[in-house]
């Protein structure tokens, strides 16, 4: 396991002003912080929160697309979707392992998800009623994830930053396969184009919400930027995403559902309409269309998988015992 041999929590650490200044100086010199390095408790806590939520998002994020694996329109689409959903599961595992290096167990993190204490991305609380939704998730949701996660490859915490490198490569493939699905529909029959447009209408605003509250309401951003966990603010990343995506929509003849969307010559960015923050907070707090189903599905999988985890642990224990006995016999 990735976290083997790592100590996690350092309860003895005294956070004197000298220690905190020296820690910040390491961050400012762009040194990576590694699991056994001394670190302020608040830095550790922030990382556990963010990496844990990120891991949960990847795992819960398998559900809306998993819904279409048996119904993908042809074998090529089915194979690609199956591989993509499996990739997301892998991302969740790297991330849980990265969080474990900070002294939290996967069981603890999962329990926090299931009891509603830990968050996961709001985006996965929306339904996927048509095949076009699968294209839209790849194009917009993976597209937004890349925009957010490429800077995380330079995060100050070593294990998180390294996990992000592979994750971003895979997300980039996912984004292209999603865009290709949407393009195929947009260039197909009038009915198919309509299906793609309808899905874009439903996913556009929730995708913008993925970047989190506006900077003025983002309670964690300032400190996370100082610690170089985050490299850009929520609004900066949201703007980059809008600028990149509008052109992609135009190219395939789809319309972004925002009457206020307009290129601003002076700012050299697109202006866009107001986000419905009431909807965002309602979904974050559990009131989205699919929140209940998502948590129920994760709870079922966790409960039904208990015997597999127990069997794997028993097997690992027996193997260690056998190895120890063989070593003793050889001495
Ligand atoms: N949904 O102060 P901030 C993916 C919470 S992965 C739910 O701005 P922060 C791959 C936030 O946690 C998608 N909650 O917080 C994929 C905080 O609550 P807390 C996930 C949200 O951490 C694709 C509170 O609001 N990506 O899509 C959301 O500085 C396709 C105040 O917010 C990551 O997790 C939200 N959208 O910035 C998988 C990337 N936004 O914790 C399958 C890593 C904010 O104080 C299929 N995470 N909140 O109780 C991050 O970059 C950051 O955590 C942000 C939020 C940017 C999400």
Which of 285, 306, 175 is closest to 241 using CA atoms? Answer: 175
Name the residue among 305, 243, 321 with its Cα closest to residue 106: 305
State if residue 102 touches ligand 1 by the CB under 6 angstroms criterion. no
Strand partners, 33: 157
DSSP state for residue 126 in the 8-state scheme: S
Greatest Cα pair distance, the chain, in angstroms, is: 78
Global pTM value: 0.94
pLDDT at 248: 98
| Residue 232 per-residue DSSP state | S
Give me ligand 1 centre to Cα 28, in Å.
24
Which pLDDT belongs to residue 194? 98
Residue with tokens 């900066």: 236
- Give me the pLDDT at residue 11, please: 60
User: What pLDDT was estimated at residue 57?
Assistant: 98
- 130 alpha carbon – ligand 1 mean position (Å): 26
Q: What is the pLDDT of residue 210?
A: 98
What pLDDT is attached to residue 13?
A: 77
Residue 199 confidence (pLDDT): 98
- pLDDT value at position 331? 85
> Is there an atom of ligand 1 within 6 Å of 284 CB?
yes
What distance in Å separates the CA atoms of residue 48 and residue 97, rounded to the nearest whole number? Answer: 11
Q: Which residue is it, tokens 């709870």?
A: 299
For residue 237, the model assigns a pLDDT of 98
Ligand 1 binding pocket mutation candidate from 121, 170, 216 (most atoms within 8 A of CB): 121
Residues in the chain with pLDDT values less than 70:
1-12
Minimal-distance CA residue to ligand 1 atom 25: 212
Q: Is any ligand 1 atom within 6 A of the Cβ of residue 104?
A: no
Residue 209 beta carbon below 6 angstroms from any ligand 1 atom: yes
Question: Exposed, middle or buried by CB within 10 Å (0-12, 13-18, 19+), for 119?
Answer: middle
CA dihedral 238, 244, 246, 251 (to 10 degrees): -160
For the Cβ of 224 lying below 6 angstroms from any atom of ligand 1, the answer is yes
């Amino acid at each position: 396991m990735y976290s083997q041999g790592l100590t996690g929590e350092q309860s003895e650490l005294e956070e004197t002003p000298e220690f905190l200044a020296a820690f910040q100086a390491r961050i400012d010199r762009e040194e990576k912080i590694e699991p056994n390095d001394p670190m302020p408790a608040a830095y550790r806590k922030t990382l556990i929160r963010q990496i844990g939520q990120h891991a949960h998002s990847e795992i819960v994020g398998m559900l809306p697309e998993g819904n279409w694996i048996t119904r993908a329109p042809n074998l090529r689409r089915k194979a690609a979707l199956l591989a993509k959903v499996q990739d997301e599961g892998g991302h969740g595992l790297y991330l849980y392992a990265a969080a474990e290096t900070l002294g939290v167990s996967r069981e603890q993190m999962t329990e926090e998800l299931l009891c509603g204490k830990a968050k996961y991305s709001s985006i996965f609380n929306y339904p996927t009623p048509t095949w076009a939704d699968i294209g839209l998730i790849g194009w917009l949701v993976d597209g937004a994830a890349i925009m957010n996660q490429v800077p995380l490859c330079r995060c100050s915490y070593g294990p998180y930053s390294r996990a992000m490198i592979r994750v971003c490569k895979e997300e980039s493939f996912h984004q292209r396969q999603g865009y290709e699905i949407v393009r195929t529909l947009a260039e197909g029959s009038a009915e198919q184009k309509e299906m793609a447009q309808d899905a874009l209408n439903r996913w556009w605003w929730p995708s913008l919400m993925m970047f989190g509250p506006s900077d003025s309401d983002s309670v964690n951003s300032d400190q996370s930027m100082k610690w170089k966990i985050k490299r850009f603010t929520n609004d900066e990343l949201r703007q980059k995403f809008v600028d990149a995506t509008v052109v992609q929509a135009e190219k395939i003849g789809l319309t972004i559902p925002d009457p206020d969307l307009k290129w601003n010559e002076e700012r050299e960015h697109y202006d866009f309409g107001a986000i419905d923050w009431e909807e965002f907070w309602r979904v974050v707090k559990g009131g989205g269309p699919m929140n209940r189903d998502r948590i129920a599905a994760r709870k079922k999988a966790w409960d039904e998988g208990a015997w597999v985890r127990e069997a794997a642990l028993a097997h690992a224990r027996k193997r260690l015992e056998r190895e120890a006995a063989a070593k003793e016999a050889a001495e």
